[in-house]
Chains A and B, each alone.
Chain A
Amino acid sequence: MMSQEEAPLSLAKAPTRRLNMIEAINDALDIMMERDPDVVIFGEDVGYFGGVFRATAGLQKKHGKNRVFDTPINECGIIGAAVGMAAYGLRPVPEIQFADYIYPGYDQLVSEAARLRYRSAGEFIAPITVRSPFGGGIFGGQTHSQSPEALFTHVAGLKTVIPSTPHDAKGLLISAIEDNDPVIFFEPKRIYNGPFNGYYDKPVEPWSRHEGSAVPEGYYSIPLGKARTVQEGEALTVLAYGTMIHVAEAVCREKGVDAEIIDLRTLVPIDIEAVEKSVQKTGKCLIVHEATRTCGFGAELSALVQERCFYHLEAPIERVTGFDTPYPHSLEWAYFPGPVRIGEAIDRLLKA
C-alpha cells in the first residue's frame, strides 16, 4: 500500500488539536490499530506501562494485550519476532526503547528485514515500522543520545524517516506503518515535549505555541520521500531533519539570515528534487545533523549536492555535525551542534 498523497483541502477542514510529539505519535498508533487489525505493537515497557516516553500509553488497555505487549529485553528477539510476524501477515510496529539499544537487532534489520522482499523475489515482505527515540540533548550520556541514522540509510532495502513536528510525526508514522517495506522511524526525543532550538540556556517553548503542533484529528498521511520547506529564502539552503530543524531555524532568525530551510523528513528515499531546486536557487548549502561527522548522512547529502548542483554553487558546501566522539555526558552542550557552530558555518557561507 502506498502512502496517500497529502490532501491539504481535507486537512484544512479537519478539526485540529494542539498535541506534543508524544501525543501525536500515540494518536497515529491508536488510529492505525483501529484501522488495521494486523497492526501489533510491542517492545520493552510498551504494554501496561505505555513506554518509558509514554508513546504507547493507553493502547494496551484499549486494544488488548494480544496486540500491545511488553517484551523481554532482547532487541534481536524484538526485531526477529517482528520479521516472523510480518511473514505471517501482520504489520508489526516494534519499539526499540533507545536507538542506542538497536544494535543487537541490527543483523535482523540489515540481513533479514531489509532483504526479505529481494531474496524471496517478493514472496515474503517485511512491512515493519521500527520506532525508536534517538538523538541527544537530554543528558542521556553515550548510551541514550546517539543518532545512528547513517547506519540504516546505508542499507539497501530500508527506509529511514525522522519527523520534526507533531503534525509531521503523526502523518509520517501512519505512512510508515502503511508502507510495505521496513521503515526505521527515528523520533528526536529532545523535541518530544517542545521544539528545542539549541539555546540550552533558555527555557524551551511548549509545542502548543508552535504551528507544527496543530494536528488534524483522525486519519491522514504524509507521503514518505517528500521533504517540507520550513521557510523559503534566498541567501542559502539549510538541509536538516529532526531537532536540527528547530536549531537552524532559531539561528537563522537570530542572525536575520534569509535562509531556505528544507526538512528532509525522509532520508531514504530522499526528496532529491526539493534539494536540487533549493540549492540551485540559493547557490549555497548548509547541512546540519547531530550525528557524528565522518560518514554521517551529511556526507551523502554533500556528495549529492556536489554531483547535482555543482555549477550553481557559489561556496563550498558546509557540514555542521556532532563531533566524532562518543556522546559525552558532562560536556553535552560542547558536543551538540548548536547555535555557535551553525552560526560560524552560516558566516562562512555568506562571506564566500
Chain B
Amino acid sequence: MAKRPASAGSIGGNLPPLSLHVPEPHFRPGDPVDYSWLEIPAAGAAPRPDEACAAADTHPLCFALVRVLDEGHRAVGPWDPALDPETMRRMLRAMALTRAFDDRMYRGQRQGKTSFYMKCTGEEATSVAAAFALADDDMVFPSYRQQGILIARGYPIVEMINQIYSNRADKLKGRQLPIMYSSRAHSFFTISGNLATQYPQAAGWAMASAIKGDTRIAASWVGEGSSSEGDFHAALTFAAVYNAPVIYNLVNNQWAISSFSGFAGAERTTFAARAVGYGVAGLRVDGNDPLAVYAAVRWAANRARSGGGPTLIEHFTYRAEGHSTSDDPSQYRSAQEREEWPLGDPVNRLKQHLIALGEWSEERHAAMDLELAEEVKAATKEAEKNGILGHGLHHPFHTMFEDVFEDLPWHLQEQAEQAIRERRIKWPSWKEYE
C-alpha cells in the first residue's frame, strides 16, 4: 500500500463541512404556484423515429415531451395517431366512466361501504389510452391506479364494485384490499400492494412469450415513487438482457403519498432518461394528452411485437387527488398545484379535440356524463345486493383457508376447524351459508 506523503496535511482539511441535501418540493400548502420553471415543449415538436430504430435514436426523446394535442385542441405533428372519431369517442367514454366510477367509489368509502379507495383522477389517459393501444390479450401487470385498463377492456364495473366491497360476489373472495383487482380473462394480472414487484414479473411473462414463440407482449405500470425500488432495476436489466417484448410505463404523477418526485430522483434528470443507461428505447410523454399516450404505447407495442425489445415510457402527469382515501394532500402540498397544472386535464382535452373536429358537443358530453353516472349508480345498487364490507354477506367462512395451497394440508384443516368452532361459540345459532 502506498504511503501518503507526510507533508500533505489532512486531505480536504480546509473545505467547509459536508451537508446533506434533502430535496424540497417547489410548493407547500399555502404557497402560490408558478410553473414557469417547468419546460413544456410545443405539441408536435418531438420527432417520431421509426419503430425499428436503434434504441439510442429514441434517447433524445427521453428529455423531450411527446405531445399531440395543442392549445387549440388540434392533433399535430408526427405522433398524431390519426384515430377515427369513433375510436376517440370510445376512449373518451372509457375515461369518463373511470372518473364517474372513481367519484362514486370515493363517496362509497366515505359512507362506510368499504375500507379504502384510490382514485386516478387526472391520470385516466395513462391507463385508458394505453389499453387502447394494446391488443386485448396483451398481458398487463398494473400498479394500483390503473382501473382504467379494466374499464377500457370491458370488465363489468359491478364486478369491480363487488371486489371493492369484499362481498360474497367478489371474485377474489374478499381476500384483497379494495381495488387490488385480478382478471385472467382480461389479461390483467393480480395487483400487489407491494409496489413495483409487478415490474420484473412483466419481464418474466414477456420472456415466456418469447420462449414460446407467442405474439403477445406484456406491459407494466409503476409510479415514479416506487420506481426507486430494486425491482425496477431488476426488471429493466432482465428486459434489456433478453430483449423482452415488454412496455414499461412509468407514471410520473409528481407525488408518492406526501413525497414529491425529487425523492425518486427527479431533481437530477427525467425518469425516461433511465432508458439510456439500460440501452433500451425510451419516451417521455405528456400523460394528460390521451392521443400522445396512445401513440407512444402503440409505438412501443409495435416495436416489442416485432422483436425490437422493451421501451420505457415516462408519462408526465399530475395526481389531482390524494394518494388514497386515507390521505389528505392539503397537509403537504399547495392546493393550487392542481388548478394550475399546465398540461390540463386528459378528459377535457380529448373532449375539446372532438368538439373542435365537429365530432362531439358540450351537450353530448353532458348527456354522456349523466348516463355514465346512472350506469355506475345502477351497478353500485346491483353490487350492494351482494353486501358491503363488514355486513355479513361475505364469502363462506371456510374459503379463508382455501387457495393457500392447491390442497388443504393437515395444519390448515385443523385451523379451519378451530375457526368454525370459535364462530359457534360466539354465535351459537350461526350456520354457514353457501
Contacts of B291 in A (CB 8 A): none
- Contact partner, B403, options A85, A111, A117, A159, Cβ 8 Å: A117
Residue of A with least CB distance to B181: A120
Among the 9-residue stretches A14-22, A24-32, A69-77, A316-324, the one with 4 or more Cβ atoms under 8 Å from chain B is A69-77
Scoring A residues 99 to 132 as 1 if CB is less than 8 Å from chain B, else 0, what string do you get? 0000010011001100011111111110000000
A23 to chain B, nearest CB (A): 27
Residue of B with least CB distance to A66: B211
A116 contacts B190, C-beta separation under 8 Å: yes
Q: B362 within 8 Å of A by Cβ? A: no
Q: A90 within 8 Å of B by Cβ? A: yes
B194 contacts A107, C-beta separation under 8 Å: yes
Contacts of A181 in B (CB 8 A): 405-406
A32 to chain B, nearest CB (A): 16
B241 contacts A272, C-beta separation under 8 Å: no
Complex-state Cα separation, A86 to B230, whole angstroms: 21
Q: A84 within 8 Å of B by Cβ? A: yes
- Contact partner, A117, options B189, B234, B406, B410, Cβ 8 Å: B406
Contacts of A2 in B (CB 8 A): 406-407
Please list 9 pairs of residues, one from A and one from B, whose beta carbons are closer than 8 Å in the complex, sorted by A's number. Answer: A66-B211, A77-B234, A80-B201, A80-B238, A84-B207, A84-B208, A107-B231, A112-B194, A269-B405
Q: B164 within 8 Å of A by Cβ? A: no
Complex-state Cα separation, A36 to B190, whole angstroms: 26
Residue of B with least CB distance to A156: B404
Tell which of A112, A116, A120, A272 has the most Cβ of chain B within 10 Å.
A120
Residue of B with least CB distance to A80: B200
Given contacts A81-B200, A84-B200, A89-B208, contact A124 B405 (CB under 8 A): no
- Please count how many residues in chain A sit with their CB below 8 Å of the partner chain's CB atoms: 48
B204 contacts A81, C-beta separation under 8 Å: yes
Complex-state Cα separation, A155 to B114, whole angstroms: 28
Q: B183 within 8 Å of A by Cβ? A: yes
Residue of B with least CB distance to A42: B207
Q: Is the interface of A mostly helix, strand, loop or mixed?
A: mixed
Chain B's interface size range is 35 or more
B409 contacts A107, C-beta separation under 8 Å: no
Residue of A with least CB distance to B395: A121
Residue of B with least CB distance to A1: B406
B11 to chain A, nearest CB (A): 33
Query: Quick one: which of A124-171 are within 8 Å of B by CB?
Result: 124-125, 156-157, 159
Given contacts A77-B203, A90-B208, A225-B409, contact A117 B404 (CB under 8 A): yes
B204 contacts A121, C-beta separation under 8 Å: no
Contacts of B139 in A (CB 8 A): 87-88
- Contact partner, A118, options B218, B404, B409, Cβ 8 Å: B404
Other 20 A-B pairs with CB < 8 A, given A76-B234, A117-B404, A121-B175: A2-B406, A72-B237, A74-B234, A77-B200, A80-B204, A81-B238, A84-B200, A87-B201, A87-B204, A92-B204, A108-B197, A108-B201, A119-B176, A123-B182, A123-B190, A124-B182, A156-B404, A159-B405, A268-B409, A272-B410
- Contact partner, B182, options A71, A119, A180, A272, Cβ 8 Å: A119
Q: A251 within 8 Å of B by Cβ? A: no
